[in-house]
A and B are shown apart, each in its own frame.
With several copies, the nearest count.
Chain A
Amino acid sequence: MKVMNLVQAINDALDLKLREDRGVLVYGEDVGVEGGVFRVTEGLQVKHGAERVFDSPLAESGIVGTALGMAITGMKPVVEMQFDGFVYPAMNQILSHVGRFRNRTRGKYSVPMVIRIPYGGGINALEHHSESPEAYFGHTPGLKVVIPSTPYDAKGLLIAAIEDPDPVIYLEPKRIYRAIKQEVPEEKFTIPIGKAKILSPGEHITVIAYGAMIREVQRAMVMAREKGIQVELIDLRTIWPIDRDTIRQSVQKTGRALIVTEAPKSYGPAAELISCINEEAFLSLEAPPTRLTGFDTVIPLPLGEKYYVITPDRILAEIEKLVNY
């Protein structure tokens, strides 16, 4: 095993699949010589050649649309959107085609492609560099959407995504790209898409989060534990399809649930999880399932971001409110 951060784990998964499967291609803006603005694809072009790992012209609809074309011939393109905010020019291809080609052609064609998107706030960036667009994709039929929160999961989920016969949106919590290090097996393994993970069991309240928010929740949990509150933390890992079983079992046990997501509140990811909890565990509820989310505002530029980002303190405050409800 090797100690890796998320960037390295993703790079490792790409490298492994590039080695193993000639059908895998990696492209996007600056992913070739440069190795990506976050260095996620560093070294891959040298290892696998410019025919398989390459820069594309600066056009996201073009990147996604061409990848779909490749995928239906049986290739497995893994394309990068440089930042969350730059996937929007590709929305028509994603919403109208990527999630639908299989259904439209009754399975004659399938779309085994992966769209990698560094996402989320907290990195002191320009506007459009801190978005959390997962709800747009979760609401779009035909896609699967995953978000790892650890290097281990990052590798396992990416390999699973590339091997999945259907399209997967793979969101990378860029805020913790290099913050979390972990032993990760060098050989191949997968994390099943659609399975959440209980990171720590607890009796008093269920907290559901994913991506960079996991770390913030864990910090809040340390403080909560001092106050005698046992939190059960679920790392959702897959945004769609949702692992309802894990959520149900947990909330039936705790009777209380807090959802923590960075995305804007209204019509956001937390709303779906609250609805699932209503559907799965209504009679167990001892307090309203609650959400702690971004505001319905643009995420502010760095000097204002402190107001927007979700801190352990705020999470703790919500946990306490719920436990004392």
Chain B
Amino acid sequence: MFDHKTLNKYKAIENKMYQVLDNEGKVILKDWKPDLSNAEIVQAYKDLLFERTVDLMAVSYQRQGRMFTYPPNLGQEAIHIAAGKVIRMEDWLVPAFRELGAWLAKGVSLWEIFLYFKGNEEGSKFINAPRMLPIAVPIASQLLHATGIAYAMKYNKENSAVFGFVGDGGTSEGDFHEALNFAAVWNAPVVFVIQNNQFAISVPLKMQTKSINLAVKGLAYDVPSVLVDGNDFFAMHDVLSYARKQALESGTPFLIEARTYRQGAHTTSDDPTRYRSKEEEEEWALKDPVQRLKGYLVRQGLWNPGQEDELIAGFKKAIDAEFEKAENFREYELDSVFDYMYHDLPDELKKQKNEYQNYLKLAKGGVK
């Protein structure tokens, strides 16, 4: 349980980090008890494995030229699975682009994600995930949307929190600043989650900011904040649950720095060996979030590692099936270029579409 007293103990300005498990999955926090049932914890572990398996498969689809890019989540899964457990139907999820497990929990279908990275906007509609926004490419710009949504939720007296994600690099953008400031001044219930994975593409954190950590930035806005071990599922779950609760109860924002490490490449076009050392990677591998929760489960006798291969084989099948759905998605039609720009297609766009269609009619053979 993370409560107000815990928050006071983990002052960002003292650079304290909230952590429950050590690298081996031993609970190091005195008097700590999970607020999830064993079954839920086991499920969380499976979810971690699933996210990791999706990543693996996705990267290989991309290598086969079947998707044009993909941003791996490797190493950051505990944040996503914990968030997925905490964020409710009635809450809003405002992603950056590296929170796969949370999206899936919100109702996003895997085939949609694959479709998106094959290059079709239909893949960012997220049809079964209401209150979930599409991927935000312009870094940090989405946090303002989160703040605006939160204002609307409060205005409409909905009991709903907004979760806005951003990376460590994203904290440098002006929009990060404005979003936190507006949320604070407006008392808007946004939980801002910084996934500090130590890099913005090739740029290491120390070239991004000199602040002692990222959670401390909350002080600039009087937004309560805490630094959490982002590779620790329990720590993330505790803090996210608390943040949600206080957002709803006091109707105010909260800032979480989830300290983690991007174990993979930035995207499939990136080669991290250009800008970071093997030693650093190995050091962080010891803190791997999946291994840590596994350590906990095994220690508690809740998990038999022997099950794992079969489980993953099943995952792979399911993932392949989703990928197939994406591959068999209907052809991209010309209509899709025009018809969603406005609620009613303006004459000017009708004209442009018609002209193009006429061209196509003349140029038999169609578009190449």
A-to-B contact residues, CB < 8 Å: 25, 29-30, 32-35, 37, 51, 55-59, 61-62, 64-75, 77, 85-86, 88-89, 92-93, 96-97, 102-110, 124-129, 141-142, 144, 164-166, 194, 240-242, 244, 265-266, 295-298, 300-308, 311, 313-314, 317
B152 within 8 Å of A (CB atoms): yes
B39 within 8 Å of A (CB atoms): no
Query: Could you tell me if B121 and A104 are in contact, using CB atoms closer than 8 angstroms?
Result: yes
Query: Could you tell me if B119 and A305 are in contact, using CB atoms closer than 8 angstroms?
Result: yes
Query: What are 7 A-B interface contacts by the 8 Å CB criterion?
Result: A29-B203, A92-B175, A105-B133, A128-B138, A244-B348, A296-B349, A300-B337
CB neighbours of B156 from chain A (8 A): 73
Q: Given contacts A103-B341, A303-B120, is CB(A61)–CB(B138) below 8 Å?
A: no
Query: Could you tell me if A69 and B152 are in contact, using CB atoms closer than 8 angstroms?
Result: yes
| Cβ distance B96 to chain A, nearest Cβ, rounded Å | 12
- A282 CA / B72 CA spacing, docked (Å): 54
Query: Could you tell me if A302 and B182 are in contact, using CB atoms closer than 8 angstroms?
Result: no
- A71 CA / B148 CA spacing, docked (Å): 8
CB neighbours of A194 from chain B (8 A): 346-347
Q: Select A59's contact among B172, B275, B367, beta carbons within 8 Å.
A: B172
**Segment from B229-237, B292-300, B309-317, B355-363 that makes contact with A:** B355-363
Query: Could you tell me if B178 and A57 are in contact, using CB atoms closer than 8 angstroms?
Result: yes
B174 within 8 Å of A (CB atoms): yes
B207 within 8 Å of A (CB atoms): yes
Q: Given contacts A37-B201, A58-B172, A124-B119, is CB(A69)–CB(B146) below 8 Å?
A: yes
Query: Could you tell me if B343 and A65 are in contact, using CB atoms closer than 8 angstroms?
Result: no
- A74 CA / B368 CA spacing, docked (Å): 40
- Nearest A residue (CB) for B329: A303
Which residues of B from 43 to 65 have beta carbons under 8 Å from A? none
Q: Given contacts A73-B153, A306-B367, is CB(A58)–CB(B340) below 8 Å?
A: no
- A35 CA / B118 CA spacing, docked (Å): 27
Which residues of B from 161 to 180 have beta carbons under 8 Å from A? 169-170, 172-175, 178-179
| Cβ distance A288 to chain B, nearest Cβ, rounded Å | 14
B-to-A contact residues, CB < 8 Å: 68-69, 116, 118-122, 124-127, 133-134, 137-139, 141, 143-153, 155-156, 169-170, 172-175, 178-179, 181-182, 185, 200-203, 207-209, 269, 274-275, 332, 334, 336-338, 340-344, 346-349, 351-353, 356, 359, 362-363, 367-368
Query: Could you tell me if A59 and B174 are in contact, using CB atoms closer than 8 angstroms?
Result: yes
Query: Could you tell me if B145 and A68 are in contact, using CB atoms closer than 8 angstroms?
Result: yes
Q: Given contacts A58-B208, A313-B363, is CB(A30)–CB(B337) below 8 Å?
A: no
Q: Given contacts A72-B145, A104-B121, A301-B119, is CB(A57)–CB(B181) below 8 Å?
A: yes
Query: Could you tell me if A127 and B174 are in contact, using CB atoms closer than 8 angstroms?
Result: no
CB neighbours of B145 from chain A (8 A): 65-66, 68-69, 72, 97
- A38 CA / B169 CA spacing, docked (Å): 19
Q: Select B134's contact among A65, A104, A165, beta carbons within 8 Å.
A: A104
CB neighbours of A141 from chain B (8 A): 341
Q: Select B119's contact among A57, A58, A62, A304, beta carbons within 8 Å.
A: A304
Query: Could you tell me if B343 and A165 are in contact, using CB atoms closer than 8 angstroms?
Result: yes
Known A34-B274, A68-B144, A194-B346; 15 more pairs at CB < 8 Å: A25-B155, A30-B200, A55-B202, A58-B208, A62-B147, A64-B144, A66-B151, A66-B179, A70-B152, A86-B139, A97-B145, A105-B126, A108-B127, A306-B368, A313-B363
- A244 CA / B138 CA spacing, docked (Å): 34
Q: Given contacts A59-B174, A107-B340, A244-B347, is CB(A30)–CB(B332) below 8 Å?
A: no
Query: Could you tell me if B340 and A106 are in contact, using CB atoms closer than 8 angstroms?
Result: yes
- A86 CA / B140 CA spacing, docked (Å): 12
Q: Select B209's contact among A57, A107, A305, beta carbons within 8 Å.
A: A57
- A242 CA / B69 CA spacing, docked (Å): 38
Query: Could you tell me if A103 and B138 are in contact, using CB atoms closer than 8 angstroms?
Result: no
- A-B interface, 7 closest residue pairs, ranked by CB to CB distance from nearest: A69-B148, A65-B144, A302-B119, A66-B148, A62-B178, A34-B202, A69-B145
- Nearest A residue (CB) for B160: A73
Q: Select A61's contact among B150, B178, B363, beta carbons within 8 Å.
A: B178
Query: Could you tell me if B203 and A108 are in contact, using CB atoms closer than 8 angstroms?
Result: no
Query: Could you tell me if A61 and B274 are in contact, using CB atoms closer than 8 angstroms?
Result: no
- A35 CA / B172 CA spacing, docked (Å): 21
Query: Could you tell me if A58 and B170 are in contact, using CB atoms closer than 8 angstroms?
Result: yes
- Nearest B residue (CB) for A39: B274
Q: Select B148's contact among A70, A126, A129, beta carbons within 8 Å.
A: A70
Q: Given contacts A302-B118, A317-B362, is CB(A61)–CB(B152) below 8 Å?
A: no
- Nearest B residue (CB) for A65: B144
- A301 CA / B135 CA spacing, docked (Å): 13
| Cβ distance A285 to chain B, nearest Cβ, rounded Å | 20
- A29 CA / B149 CA spacing, docked (Å): 20
- A86 CA / B169 CA spacing, docked (Å): 14
Residue of B148, B175, B332, B367 with most chain A CB atoms under a 10 A cut-off: B148
Query: Could you tell me if A61 and B144 are in contact, using CB atoms closer than 8 angstroms?
Result: yes
Query: Could you tell me if A102 and B343 are in contact, using CB atoms closer than 8 angstroms?
Result: yes
| Cβ distance A156 to chain B, nearest Cβ, rounded Å | 18
| Cβ distance A249 to chain B, nearest Cβ, rounded Å | 14
- A108 CA / B126 CA spacing, docked (Å): 9
CB neighbours of A166 from chain B (8 A): 342-343
| Cβ distance B111 to chain A, nearest Cβ, rounded Å | 14
Query: Could you tell me if B352 and A59 are in contact, using CB atoms closer than 8 angstroms?
Result: no
CB neighbours of A307 from chain B (8 A): 332, 334, 337, 356, 367
